[in-house]
Structure 1
């Protein structure tokens, strides 16, 4: 990364409200945008980019204000992810996943655990990664008295080498009970493999990890008291919460694609030689493309903001979350996830109709928006999200909490 961190971030007062933090995120996006295409091609480990997130204060957005955090809620966090993703989908994903794993202690842990984790994370500006891919079920957790030992492998570990701490997940040996714990990313027993080589989201450090005898004290097992897990319905809110991160990641990438394409069209797209117009911005079909795609994007952004506000009401009173409230929220999340997927794919491919053949040059980097959306939207089949909505409409069925619903 060739750009530098604005020096006045260190001297300016920290933002105090949602709009202030969104402006700060826009400043970060402006820095990232200067060389986003080049960094995407290089695919280098984004150490500098993560330091930018730390210097700007975005990593501590959800942290308690009394410990140096931003004291903000999920409504703001989603908007910040969307803003950063306009410039760089990879860094937007890293930040969004960081927010979820930072919040995991509160979702799963006891009050004593999450208060300690959130205070330390805010004070030390921890950047979180997660080795919690649910389709890999071979991480075994062995009970050795006062200590738990994690051993196995995960195919994906987003954040890996750029993280300060990593959330681990495994199954307690001889049981069906899952255990979550937070460990130092540079600790003994964790080996991150440089095998993330996909067409999009190239800078997310999402490769595999080997977990070889990572030791964790029993008191650090999230949600466990005297080796027994204390379940709450709120524990199951992790899926709709991260799915809304996905939604805002997709919408941010789509908005960035539109903004970048519009700038190209204003300055470089040539009018069609048989159209009779002197400028591309006057071509009726070009105007129609931007009008159509923008209207669709704005509609889904409005739905995403509404669903985020609905979710915040659940986060505001975790102990009062019921199975019905959680299920109805998941249906709403599923609906906006389906629409965000469709509109982001349409926008990131449709812009080329308005920018023209020359815009497909590799140096322009316009393809990265589509590659990023196409890669991440395959995380889980969108048809199953539509099914959740359809089943609820037709039968009143609520989605059963799983790793994906």
Structure 2
């Protein structure tokens, strides 16, 4: 079976120009949009027009045929200038992959085809930790369900065309369905107003007896049912880690530009320019070292994920577990490195860099909000259990 992201090599590819154009457009308005918040409608439409919503889809299915490592490189590049749009773009690909991991080709391939022809943007209403949405069976065994309740942290739901939504049935079993965002009974609320990731539209979605047909439920093989299906949380973690890394690299680039162009040396430094101050140089050495180490781990984890993806249904638990260790290490490293850079960048730029006009604090705000997605301490514990006891991480929606 061919899977998303399994087609392209590492050679120069035609989507690079499109990714560059989108990156430049995002950078031009990122500061103003961070202040405004809300749904980045124009930027989402730009992604629709760019063709990049088909980036991770194999060429034989009408996609651009990127590997996951290549797709994640694009996500990281977007995150350097705009981590909110990078987030919703990456989750679009995660949700497309979710249908493939939890369903059979006869079910997910038509959705992919319609994504291509209708330029669908996919939004998230899954959030397995939120148990506020219930599913009531209608039509007997093998029939559809009615979803009712409120789902939180629904990133990218605003201006989406399709939603991947979850609910618990009468036996507390998790059901995941794919439905049009505009289906009767669905209300996407504009209630996301957090300090960071302000244009991810990660607020709430209300479901009022929303009909989810049997053929829209992802049941064969179903959520986290096989080692291959258990790649889903690892892809989600890789996406988050690459967004964090992009934010750290973006913060470093902004700090570097400010230090070289506007910062002044401290009077006791004896340096003629800020870029010759020994303490400034030491800070930049720390920043570069931390980010370079995280980048190496991320690239290795992405390569390992691509190999596991190509294994498909033949993937076994041990192989999946090895990828989980690599992903956890990359997630911890990118979290720590990027938070450190975003926090300490003002030590190498000075007081003038704190002007609200620049909003350089957005890097820390975006990181601080996003890195709370799931506690990094538990990733460190998983790594310790592997290092000491040779126990691989137990699959869940977060590991």
TM-score clears 0.5: yes
Give the superposition deviation at 1:193: 1.6
SS of 2:203's partner is coil
Residue in 1 aligned with 2:323? 329
Mapped pair 1:317 → 2:317: no
CA distance in 1, matches of 2:66, 2:259: 37
Mapped pair 1:139 → 2:133: yes
Give the superposition deviation at 1:233: 2.3
Give the superposition deviation at 1:272: 1.9
The superposition leaves residues 195-220 of structure 1 with CA deviations (integer Å, 9 ceiling, x where unpaired) of 11111000000001111111122122
The superposition leaves residues 51-94 of structure 1 with CA deviations (integer Å, 9 ceiling, x where unpaired) of 12122222110123245321112111111110000000111111
Residue in 1 aligned with 2:155? 158
CA distance in 2, matches of 1:34, 1:185: 30
The superposition leaves residues 23-75 of structure 1 with CA deviations (integer Å, 9 ceiling, x where unpaired) of 53233222111121111011132001111212222211012324532111211
The superposition leaves residues 380-400 of structure 1 with CA deviations (integer Å, 9 ceiling, x where unpaired) of 111100111111111121222
Which residue of 74, 85, 90 corresponds with 2:79? 85
SS of 1:45's partner is coil
Which residue of 61, 64, 67 corresponds with 2:55? 61
Is the Cα–Cα contact under 8 Å of residues 69 and 123 in structure 1 kept in the other structure? no
TM-score by length of 2: 0.92
Is the Cα–Cα contact under 8 Å of residues 102 and 220 in structure 2 kept in the other structure? no
Mapped pair 1:368 → 2:354: no
Equivalences, count = 388
Residue in 2 aligned with 1:201? 197
CA distance in 2, matches of 1:278, 1:19: 44
Residue in 1 aligned with 2:375? 381
Give the superposition deviation at 1:190: 1.0
Residue in 2 aligned with 1:246? 240
Is the Cα–Cα contact under 8 Å of residues 88 and 156 in structure 2 kept in the other structure? yes
Is the Cα–Cα contact under 8 Å of residues 151 and 213 in structure 1 kept in the other structure? yes
TM-score by length of 1: 0.91
The 1:224–1:320 alpha-carbon spacing in structure 2 relative to 1, beyond 3 Å, is closer
Is the Cα–Cα contact under 8 Å of residues 224 and 230 in structure 1 kept in the other structure? no
SS of 2:357's partner is helix
CA distance in 1, matches of 2:209, 2:375: 33
Residue in 1 aligned with 2:28? 34
Is the Cα–Cα contact under 8 Å of residues 18 and 76 in structure 1 kept in the other structure? no
CA distance in 1, matches of 2:10, 2:324: 30
CA distance in 2, matches of 1:229, 1:159: 21
Residue in 1 aligned with 2:218? 222
SS of 2:158's partner is helix
Gapped runs of 5+ residues in structure 2?
Answer: 1-8
Is the Cα–Cα contact under 8 Å of residues 123 and 154 in structure 2 kept in the other structure? yes
- Tell me how large the CA RMSD over aligned residues is: 2.0
Residue in 2 aligned with 1:187? 183
SS of 1:364's partner is coil
Is the Cα–Cα contact under 8 Å of residues 137 and 146 in structure 2 kept in the other structure? yes
Is the Cα–Cα contact under 8 Å of residues 137 and 170 in structure 1 kept in the other structure? yes
Mapped pair 1:397 → 2:391: yes
Give the superposition deviation at 1:290: 1.8
Give the superposition deviation at 1:358: 0.7
CA distance in 2, matches of 1:84, 1:211: 32
Give the superposition deviation at 1:18: 5.8
Give the superposition deviation at 1:284: 2.0
The 1:229–1:254 alpha-carbon spacing in structure 2 relative to 1, beyond 3 Å, is closer
